[in-house]
Amino acid sequence: MPQPNVMSSFWRGVRDGLPFLLVVGPFALLFGVIATEAGLNVFETLSFSVVVIAGAAQFTALQLLSENTPVVVVLASALAVNLRMAMYSASITPHLGALPLWKRMITAYFLVDQTYAAAALNYEKHPNQTLAQKFAYFMGVVLPICPPWYVFTLVGAWLGNAVPEGLGIDFVLPLAFIAMLGPSLRTGAHRVAATVGGVAALVFAFLPYNLGLIAGALLGMMAGAEFERRMLPQEGKS
């Protein structure tokens, strides 16, 4: 029987995850439409979203597959796009690493950009939660993000070619991430990490296999950590 504060953590997660429906919905819809246009049937399209459950990697793989790229190159590119998931895994481990194996496996499966971002920001803001509360919060965030990912993929696959292009729908993805980023820039270290991350990703954009993203992220993290180390006496921990 879950305790009331665990349930309230779950519902807090649902509430915090809800805005991402605005991102996940159109993005999944778009994947469904594009996959159908590439010649995938409804079952194949849905399987892609359920098995892989990673938007950017799915788009990358689909794009390369339709260019008849060798499977090895498709996999290497799409996995490179997903390398950031290993960083999410490392980042979430201090919070959820004590869970039993099956719950860690569930967490790993549902660890996507949006669930990670919401959970990591929440755990940092409220560090005194119990393990059960943290897991409940995570599953709460998952609810309005992951099942809609499947559902809207399906809707997109059915709609097929009906969605017109050129509406700027591609901008929904960066906009949602930016809206999430602004409020989390709480300290100088956070702002330094974000600035270095963004600029470095642009500088290293010439690198193949999306490694510019990895380079930007690592340099941003290093910059933030170094800034915190130097400012610690003045600014206090986070």
Q: Give the footprint of other proteins on residues 96-115 (CB under 8 A).
A: 96-98, 101, 104-105, 107-109, 111, 113
**Please, are residues 141 and 14 in contact by the beta-carbon 8 Å criterion?**
yes
Indicate whether 213 belongs to the interface with other proteins (CB under 8 A).
Answer: yes
For the chain, the residue count is 238
Indicate whether 224 belongs to the interface with other proteins (CB under 8 A).
Answer: yes
Instruction: List the one residue from 14, 21, 79, 159 that touches other proteins (CB under 8 A).
Output: 79
Distance CA 5, CA 113 (A): 26
Indicate whether 157 belongs to the interface with other proteins (CB under 8 A).
Answer: no
Widest CA span in the chain: 59
Stretch that binds other proteins, among 2-10, 134-142, 156-164, 224-232 (CB under 8 A): 224-232
Please state the separation of Cα 4 from the chain's center in Å: 29
Indicate whether 160 belongs to the interface with other proteins (CB under 8 A).
Answer: no
Torsion from C-alpha of 146, 149, 152, 157, nearest 10 degrees: -140
Whichever of 4 and 234 has its CB closer to other proteins, that residue is: 234
Instruction: Considering only residues 30 through 59, tell me which ones interact with other proteins, judged by CB under 8 A.
Output: 38-40, 44, 47-48, 51-54, 56-57
Instruction: List the one residue from 42, 132, 195, 209 that touches other proteins (CB under 8 A).
Output: 195
Helices 21-37 and 146-159, packing angle to 10 deg: 40
